[in-house]
């Protein structure tokens, strides 16, 4: 009898814990990146919007999407951010090799290819294109491959956000503590500089924390990484992330 009662109690506790874990997902900010990257990315993001699984969408304004897809984004009433890009042609040549793209960026930066005025001009033009297509400014700014977290570029993104009356930038005011060890150390170094920059722009805001879904998706208990006001950056073009997001509780 004791063991029967214990089993019932244990199952009840598991049920309560499961509900609490599921509720945590409702308190975070789920941001879907790379709208425009491919027909598959667009289709998966629109499906997640339909199921109320995401809070923000980041659009690659120089990529591919239809007028009908733009109408669906606007109709969703979700936050629509601009996913700024540094280079497009090089990325297409390098395909999906993230390491090669990163090396290309650093070599280009050392050569002086990504100087201040050029990057500011590129990103300002992308904001203008966004406004022409959506009829409004972006709700927030971030960047492909998180290039805006490079401190010289983070200052640029804050400057153009302020100039264009955009209130939200992706950073995480308390850092990115859930990344893999090597990435975490790199991000922490960048964060200490970027945090000072963010606070120097008093009207700009960010989430409390930021993490990428691929940092935690393979963990058996991914919810243990969650805190309220964490922006979770996801890429629904990836099948694994799309399925994971579909199985989350509804946001509304």
Q: pLDDT tens digits for 56-65?
A: 999 999 999 9
Helix, strand, coil percent content, the chain, rounded in steps of 5 = 55, 15, 30
pLDDT at 101: 61
Is residue 13 in some structural domain?
no
Q: Reduced to 3 states, what is the DSSP secondary structure of residue 68?
A: helix
Question: Distance (Å, rounded) from C-alpha 39 to C-alpha 231?
Answer: 25
Is residue 213 in some structural domain?
yes
Contact call for residues 82 and 138 (beta carbons, < 8 A):
yes
pLDDT in single tens digits along all 252 residues of the chain? 434 433 334 344 343 334 344 556 778 999 999 999 999 999 999 999 999 999 999 999 999 999 999 999 999 999 999 999 987 654 545 455 556 666 666 677 667 677 889 999 999 999 999 999 999 999 999 999 888 999 999 999 999 999 999 999 999 999 876 656 666 677 788 899 999 999 999 999 999 999 899 888 888 777 777 777 899 999 999 999 999 999 988 765
pLDDT at 222: 75
Range of the domain at 33: 25-246
Is residue 91 in some structural domain?
yes
pLDDT at 102: 64
Q: Which helix (H) or strand (E) holds 24?
A: helix 2-27
Structure tokens at 33: 């990146």
Question: Distance (Å, rounded) from C-alpha 55 to C-alpha 59?
Answer: 13
Contact call for residues 69 and 46 (beta carbons, < 8 A):
yes
Contacts of 123-127 with C-beta under 8 Å, sequence gap 24+, read: 123/84, 123/156, 123/157, 123/160, 124/160, 126/61, 126/62, 126/82, 126/84, 126/85, 127/82, 127/160, 127/164, 127/166
Is residue 133 in some structural domain?
yes
Is residue 14 in some structural domain?
no
CATH of the domain at 176: 3.20.20.370
Is residue 11 in some structural domain?
no
Task: Give the number of other CB atoms < 10 A from CB of residue 16.
Answer: 10
Q: Which helix (H) or strand (E) holds 121?
A: helix 116-134
101-160 pLDDT, tens digit per residue, is: 666 666 776 676 778 899 999 999 999 999 999 999 999 999 998 889 999 999 999 999
pLDDT at 216: 85
Is residue 227 in some structural domain?
yes
Number of structural domains in the chain: 1
Is residue 55 in some structural domain?
yes
């Amino acid at each position: 009898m004791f063991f029967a009662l214990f089993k019932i109690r244990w199952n009840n506790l598991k049920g309560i814990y499961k509900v609490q874990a599921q509720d945590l997902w409702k308190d975070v900010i789920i941001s879907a990146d790379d709208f425009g990257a491919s027909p598959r990315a667009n289709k998966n993001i629109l499906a997640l919007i339909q199921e109320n699984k995401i809070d923000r969408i980041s659009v690659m304004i120089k990529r591919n999407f239809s007028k009908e897809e733009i109408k669906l984004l606007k109709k969703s009433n979700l936050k629509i951010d601009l996913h700024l890009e540094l280079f497009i042609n090089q990325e297409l040549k390098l395909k999906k090799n993230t390491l090669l793209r990163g090396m290309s960026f650093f070599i280009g930066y050392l050569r002086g290819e990504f100087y201040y005025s050029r990057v500011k001009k590129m990103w300002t033009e992308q904001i203008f294109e966004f406004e022409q297509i959506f009829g409004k400014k972006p709700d927030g700014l971030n960047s492909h491959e998180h290039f805006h977290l490079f401190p010289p570029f983070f200052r640029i993104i804050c400057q153009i956000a302020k100039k264009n009356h955009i209130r939200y930038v992706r950073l995480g005011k308390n850092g990115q503590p859930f990344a893999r060890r090597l990435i975490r150390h790199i991000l922490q170094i960048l964060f200490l500089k970027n945090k000072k920059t963010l606070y120097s722009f008093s009207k700009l805001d960010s989430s409390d924390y930021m993490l990428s879904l691929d940092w935690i998706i393979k963990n058996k208990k991914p919810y243990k990484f969650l805190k309220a006001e964490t922006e979770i950056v996801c890429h629904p073009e990836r099948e694994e992330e799309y399925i994971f997001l579909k199985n989350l509780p509804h946001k509304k």
